């Protein structure tokens, strides 16, 4: 009976150490959190895809190549430059 309990403890320890590292997930989140790399690493594919979609809609990146052109701040800066007098 004691050997089976010891075997179960060893199996639980092995499973705990073979899983994905939370430190690696934290590093991935810090550097690539916008792209949900940490969720893909942890095996949460559905949540990762949902996070990518939400990030794109909430930040306005409907078309990543034109994101800077769609920004209202660019329009404001363009209007200010057009209204300022030209210096000789």
Residue with tokens 């997930």, as numbered in its chain? 25
The answer to the question of residue 54 being in a domain is yes
Boundaries of domain holding 48: 22-80
pLDDT tens digits along 29-82:
999 888 888 999 888 999 999 998 888 888 776 555 445 555 555 565 556 555
pLDDT tens digits along 6-29:
888 888 887 777 778 888 889 989
Number of domains in the chain: 1
The answer to the question of residue 39 being in a domain is yes
The answer to the question of residue 5 being in a domain is no
Is the four-CA dihedral 74, 67, 59, 42 of positive or negative sign? negative
The answer to the question of residue 14 being in a domain is no
The answer to the question of residue 74 being in a domain is yes
Q: Nearest Cα to 57, choosing from 41, 76, 70?
A: 70
pTM of the model: 0.51
């Amino acid at each position: 009976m004691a050997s089976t309990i010891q075997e179960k403890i060893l199996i639980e320890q092995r499973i705990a150490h073979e899983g994905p590292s939370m430190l690696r997930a934290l590093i991935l989140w810090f550097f690539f959190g916008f792209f949900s790399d940490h969720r893909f690493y942890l095996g949460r594919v559905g949540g990762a895809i949902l996070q990518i979609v939400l990030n794109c809609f909430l930040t306005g990146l409907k078309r990543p190549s034109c994101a800077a052109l769609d920004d209202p701040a660019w329009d404001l800066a363009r209007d200010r430059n057009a209204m300022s007098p030209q210096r000789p």
